[in-house]
Amino acid sequence: MTATRQIEEHPDKERILIGTSSCLLGEEVRFDKGHKHHSYITKTLGQFFTFRPFCPEMAIGLGAPRETLRLVTRDGEIRCIGNKTEGHDVTEKLIATAQEQRPWHAELCGYILKKGSPSCGMERVRIYSAESGMPLESGSGLYAKTLLENFPFLPVEEEGRLGDPVLRENFIKRVFAYRHWRDLAEEGFSMKKLTDFHSQYKYVLLSHDQHRTRALGNRLAQASDEPIESVAQWYFEEWMSLLKLRSTRKNHVNVLQHLQGFLKNDIDKDDKQELSETIDNYRMGLLPLIVPITLLRHHFRRHPKPFVDRAKYLEPHPSELMLLNTI
C-alpha cells in the first residue's frame, strides 16, 4: 500500500507535512533505477503524515539509472563527483537545488532522509581523499547539509536511525511538537500564550534536561518587558534544542514521581504502593515507559487535574504509534 493510498483512506485526519527522500516511498529513483521503500514510513507514519518526496539527484537531471556519486575532499573543499568520472562534479548543482526548495522546506514539520547518500545523508556519509581514494572522515550529503543549515531546528532524521526506539520516539515527538508551535505562531504570540505553551511541555522538557528546562522557565518568567517576537524566537530555539536531546530513564523517573505527587491526597495506600512499584520497575528496566504512564493516566482520569490534563507528557504523540512501548 502506497503512502498516497493511505492518505486517501483517511481524509478526515489532519495530517502533518514532512519531507522525505523519494526512494523511501518506493519511487524508482536510485542510481540503479531501484528504490528503498520503507514500510514503517509509508504504513505506520503514513497514517498521520503527508509526505513531500524529493530526490535531489533526479532534480538536477542525473536520471535513473546513473553513475554513483561520492564525496571527496579536494583543496580543503568537499566536492560531490562521479565514482568513475572525476570530472563529473555536481557540487554546485546539488547545493543550488537545495536552496531552490527552500520555500516548501519552510512549510515542513520534519524530514526523513536516506542514510549514507552523498546528497541526502544526514551524517556519517563517507568523505574520500581525492588523491588516495581512501576514506578520511564522514559528514553530511550536500543537499542534507544545506537543508540543515537553512532550518537548524527542523526535526530531521535518517530512515536507518528510525530503527532505534529512543531516536524514533524522539524524532516523532519533535515533529508533533513542531506542528504545535507552527499552529501557535499562526495564532500570534503573546506572553500568556507562550507561558501556557511552556506549561504544556514542561514535563516533556524535564525528561530531557532538568537544569536547562528550569532555566528556560525562569527566563520566560522574567521576559515580560522584552519584545514578544524576540522572546518567541529565543524560546523556540532553546525549546527545540532541549527536545532534540535524548530523554533519560533517570529524568523520566523524576517526572513520573513528580506527577505521582499530585495524587497523594486522592488515591489510597494500595494504589500508591502499586504506582511506586511500577515506577521503580521502570527505573530498573523491567517495564517500558508506557506502563507507568498508563497507570498515571488511569488515576488522573479518576482524579482530574486540569494542568496535568493539558500537559503533553502523558501523551506526546498518538497512542496508536506505540512509541512508549519500547523505551
Residue 178, domain member (yes or no): yes
d(CA 202, CA 196): 10
Check residue 261 and give its pLDDT.
97
How would DSSP label each residue in 201-247? HHHHHHTT-HHHHHHHHHHHHT-TTS-HHHHHHHHHHHHHHHHHSPP
pLDDT in tens, 89-137: 999 999 999 999 999 999 999 999 999 999 999 999 999 998 888 888 8
What is the arithmetic mean of pLDDT over 168-181? 98
> Are 181 and 304 contained in the same domain?
yes
Residue 233, domain member (yes or no): yes
> Are 149 and 175 contained in the same domain?
no
Residue 77, domain member (yes or no): no
DSSP 3-state of 156: strand
> Are 262 and 215 contained in the same domain?
yes
pLDDT in tens, 213-238: 999 999 999 999 999 999 999 999 99
> Are 238 and 279 contained in the same domain?
yes
> Are 245 and 158 contained in the same domain?
no
Mean pLDDT for all residues in the chain = 94
Position with higher pLDDT, 274 vs 135:
274
Q: Look at 45-54, 127-136, 196-205, 237-246 and tell me which has the smallest mean pLDDT.
A: 127-136
What is the arithmetic mean of pLDDT over 242-255? 98
> Are 150 and 178 contained in the same domain?
no
Whose cell is 523519494? That residue is: 22
Peptide bond into 304 cis (omega under 30): no
What is the arithmetic mean of pLDDT over 260-264? 97
Position with higher pLDDT, 194 vs 74:
194
Check residue 76 and give its pLDDT.
87
d(CA 64, CA 281): 53
Check residue 7 and give its pLDDT.
37
Residue 91, domain member (yes or no): no
Q: Which domain holds residue 145?
A: 3-63+96-125+141-163
Residue 279, domain member (yes or no): yes
Tell me how many domains the chain contains. 2
pLDDT band at 5 (very low <50, low <70, confident <90, very high): very low
What is the arithmetic mean of pLDDT over 169-188? 98
Cβ pair 251, 313 in contact under 8 A: no
Residue 292, domain member (yes or no): yes
Evaluate the CA torsion angle 96, 174, 325, 41 in order and state its sign.
negative
Q: Which grid coordinates belong to 195? A: 507561558
What is the arithmetic mean of pLDDT over 309-314? 96
> Are 178 and 321 contained in the same domain?
yes
> Are 107 and 218 contained in the same domain?
no
Residue 71, domain member (yes or no): no
The alpha helices in 81-164, defined as continuous H runs, are 91-100, 102-105, 142-150
> Are 190 and 159 contained in the same domain?
no
pLDDT at 2 over 80: no
> Are 223 and 153 contained in the same domain?
no
> Are 187 and 157 contained in the same domain?
no
Residue 14, domain member (yes or no): yes
> Are 172 and 157 contained in the same domain?
no
